[in-house]
Structure 1
């Protein structure tokens, strides 16, 4: 299949972000893409809980989700919505960071709520407490598509190799890692982590990312790393989108999954051990 990575610089305006994504999705289709991949929180990248509360919606009424479903059907293209910030009915009013696989007829094939929350102190000036506004998911998901089985993850999940291994052992041939990666940790860790997860699992890793400085009407602005990537099951970088907004295409041959797993069948070599 031909995949398209849509690298975005989302703002805190869902309407503006939808317009940007829709234009890029049409470009991807015109260039022959079968499956397009969008980054994390593509509908609203914001550090302000007040702004998120004012503009985010519940899944059933979310304008971005409904519009992208309609556009997928119109264009006959499969789509990974890397994730949307969505309201929930949780008593503490925390949001969901939810990823979707959408079919070429506009149907929701699978949904996944990000499990691992980015609660870190990268530098004294750059701290994150994702769990203050978002509640973590609890269920790992493998999506069935005509192109192969997709193990769904989001951003910070990439640091937890047990999750990717479980997805691969459950049949995933592709791991998705939509992200809004910090520019500090991204420069140090992004490529290494993606290549490691591909090598460990024998999966393709498809990682559409946010990039640049994200304008904000409330709260402080954020800067993300970019470098959307496709990594082969052997750990080779097949595409790196750099730091510019745009559409990157790459042809993916799933026979390489089976080749890599024949050469190094480590998914079959787990052993129980005691300690430490």
Structure 2
């Protein structure tokens, strides 16, 4: 069972970003007739400018051209796809940061809206991030049954909130996909540590696809290091810098063995987390 993460350097040019993803899917290393799960990073079709630009390309789900274009890529290249994130209209002033999971015919299997919004101060050129000015937080968790296993969805800043990932595990997640655009500063400090910790805690495979490099003449800079981490916390594949694919085979038998040997769900004496 092969999974592939695409590390991108997305810009504010939607057409160019879409063309890059299309070209990379054409070059995707794969065996004939082998099912393929692809994960794109956060904001893979529009990134690096002012967050208000998300409003200009947002639409309701039924008429979203961005959603239609990504679904068409999944169908054309015959891949299951966690399609990064795109803006979906929430109200007149804000959008959801939504991740879709498409099957290899372009059908929507499920979606997730980013729960935790990145309103923080960072010692970089941007300095102050205020996602809540543009984005509306989600109100649900998502676990989707697929031929690869039960896939839980989370996005970028969510990785800092362990309760979400415990809730995903309790909802049946075996694999967790994490489209991200981690800043270079916070990525250098915490990216790998957080992903490995969440993988160990949940005993899930983590598929963390990240943006990398300087975006739009250096106005934003992201960390990269897209990685696949197993339920024991081992990094089984990663791409620290540059653009392109990170690939690995997932072993569901190993996942079951780890959960049997260390049954943390049964041993946990705290009540299950609930979304407030």
Q: TM-score, normalised by structure 2?
A: 0.92
Q: How does 1:31-70 map to 2 (within 5 A)?
A: 34-70=36-72
**Deviation readout 1:37-65 (Å, 9 max, x if unpaired):** 10001111134244333333433333332
Matches of 2:30 and 2:113, distance apart in 1: 31
Q: How does 1:126-275 map to 2 (within 5 A)?
A: 126-215=127-216, 221-272=219-270
* CA-atom RMSD in angstroms: 1.8
Matching of residue 5 in structure 1 with residue 5 in structure 2:
yes
3-state SS of paired residue (1:10): coil
CA spacing shift, 1:192–1:124, aligned 2, 3 Å: closer
* TM-aligned CA deviation for residue 124 of structure 1: 7.1
Matches of 1:20 and 1:59, distance apart in 2: 24
Q: CA contact under 8 A between 1:10 and 1:44: conserved in structure 2? A: yes
Alignment: residue pair count: 268
* TM-aligned CA deviation for residue 170 of structure 1: 1.2
3-state SS of paired residue (1:208): strand
**Structure 1 spans left out of the alignment, 5+ residues:** none
Larger deviation: 4-13 or 251-260?
251-260
Q: CA contact under 8 A between 2:52 and 2:134: conserved in structure 1? A: no
CA spacing shift, 1:33–1:270, aligned 2, 3 Å: same
The residue number in structure 1 matching 2:18 is 18
* TM-aligned CA deviation for residue 7 of structure 1: 0.5
**Deviation readout 1:163-205 (Å, 9 max, x if unpaired):** 1011111110001111000100100100000000000011000
* TM-aligned CA deviation for residue 137 of structure 1: 0.3
Q: Segments of 4+ in structure 1 off by > 6 A?
A: none
3-state SS of paired residue (1:213): strand
Q: CA contact under 8 A between 2:51 and 2:131: conserved in structure 1? A: no
The residue number in structure 2 matching 1:102 is 102
Q: CA contact under 8 A between 1:150 and 1:174: conserved in structure 2? A: yes
* TM-aligned CA deviation for residue 256 of structure 1: 1.7
Q: CA contact under 8 A between 2:57 and 2:87: conserved in structure 1? A: no
